[in-house]
Structure 1
Amino acid sequence: MLIKTKKYKLEPSLYIKTAMLELLRKQWWYIVGPVALACLAFIWPSWWFISIAILIVVLYLLFWAVQFAGVTQVEQNKMLFERMSYEIDGRQILMKLNERQGMPVSWDMIKSAKKTKDLYLLSLSKAQFIFLPYTIFQNPNDLKMMDTYLKRKNLIPADGAKPVAG
C-alpha cells in the first residue's frame, strides 16, 4: 500500500533544534564526563576543574550547533528544506519536490526511527533525518500503515519488544 502525504517544509530553525536534541539524547555521556570532572573540584578544590569542564561542554555544544547550522546553508542539502511531499511504501520513501523531481530513500538507509505523540523522526545519519509530522498524513489509516512499515523494518518496537536498529 502506498502512503501519499501532503506537502511539508522543514524550517531550518526546527531542524537545528531537533538535531541538537537528538544529539544530546544519543550522546548525553559527553556532557556527563566534564560534569564529573567538575565534581572533582569538591575533592581537590580548584577553579581550573570547574572552568575546564564548563569550557569543554560549551565548546562541544557550540561545535555541533555550528555543524547543524551549516547543513542548512549548504547547497547540497537545500532539498531538505524545500516544500515536498512523500510517497511511502514497503520498498522506499520517495521525497518529491514535484511530479518530476524526487529522491528515493530506501529503508536500509534509515539508521533509527523515533515515534512521538505528534511526529515520526527517521534518522539517516547524525546530521540528516526525515521529519514527518502526523499532520501531513491524509488519514488515520496512513498513520497505521506507517507504524506497520516501521515495525516490519524493526525501527520501532512491535508490541513491547525493543527495536533492533536504533
Structure 2
Amino acid sequence: MIVKTKKFALDKKKYINMAFTRQIKKSWYWLLIPLAVMILGPILHYTGVYKNWWILITGFVGGLLYIAFWYIQFYAATQMEQNAQMFDKFAYEIDSRQILVKVNKREGGVIKWDTIQSAEKLENNDFLLHIARGQFLHFPKNVFNSEHDMKLMENILRRKSLL
C-alpha cells in the first residue's frame, strides 16, 4: 500500500519554530550553567565573598546568547540558497520501502528509511520524521487524502519501529 500526499511546502516560520523548540528541548541542560551563575552571583554578593554584580549580568547574557545562537542558526538555514529546496512544494509517496519525493510526475528523489532517525505523531495528528538536527519532514494532517492514508502512515512508521 502506498500513501500519497497532496503537493505542499514547509512554511519557513513553522520550520524555525519547530526546529528551535526541538533543539532547546533536547539541550536544555546547557541553560543550567548560566542559571547556576545567576543564582551563585547574589549568594556571593550578600555573603561578602564577591561584591560585584557582573557575575549575575554575565550569567543572564550567557543564557540569552545561547538561546539566540540556536534561533539564529535555524533562521539562517531558511535564508541559505542551498536549503531553499527544503521549502519547495513536493508531493510524497510513502511505502514500506522508501519515501518518494516528487517535484512533478517525472522528476523526484528517494529518501530511504534508514536515513530517518525517529518519528513522532504530534498532538494535532501531524507526523514529523527526523533526519538530522534541523532536518525533518513534516506531514500536516491536511496533506493526506483520507483518514485511511493517515492510519496507513502510522502503521508504516510503527512497522519501521520509528513511532
TM-score by length of 1: 0.87
- Deviations, residues 138-160 of structure 1 (Å, cap 9, x unaligned): 1111111111111112211xxxx
Determine if the alignment matches structure 1 residue 67 to structure 2 residue 76.
no
Determine if the alignment matches structure 1 residue 149 to structure 2 residue 156.
yes
Of 134, 138, 145, the match for 1:131:
138
Partner-residue secondary structure (3-state), 2:58 = helix
Q: In structure 2, how many angstroms separate the alpha carbons of the residues matched to 1:55 and 1:103?
A: 44
Identity of aligned residues (%): 38
Instruction: State how many pairs are aligned.
Output: 156
Q: How far did residue 128 of structure 1 move? A: 0.7
> Please, which runs of 5 or more residues in structure 1 have no aligned partner?
157-166
Q: How far did residue 93 of structure 1 move? A: 1.2
Partner-residue secondary structure (3-state), 1:68 = helix
Q: In structure 2, how many angstroms separate the alpha carbons of the residues matched to 1:130 and 1:85?
A: 12
Q: In structure 2, how many angstroms separate the alpha carbons of the residues matched to 1:87 and 1:62?
A: 37
Q: How far did residue 100 of structure 1 move? A: 2.1
Superposition pairs of residues 10-21 of structure 1, within 5 angstroms: 10-21=10-21
Q: In structure 2, how many angstroms separate the alpha carbons of the residues matched to 1:152 and 1:53?
A: 46
Structure number with higher relative contact order (C-alpha < 8 Å, ≥ 6 residues apart): 2
Q: How far did residue 17 of structure 1 move? A: 0.9
- Structure 1 stretches (4+) deviating beyond 4 angstroms? none
Q: In structure 1, how many angstroms separate the alpha carbons of the residues matched to 2:11 and 2:74?
A: 13
Q: Which amino acid aligns with 1:50?
A: L
Determine if the alignment matches structure 1 residue 87 to structure 2 residue 93.
yes
Q: Which amino acid aligns with 1:107?
A: W
> Please, which runs of 5 or more residues in structure 2 have no aligned partner?
46-51
RMSD: 1.4
Are the equivalent residues in 1 in contact too, given 2:42–2:53 (CA < 8 A)? no
Q: How far did residue 10 of structure 1 move? A: 0.9
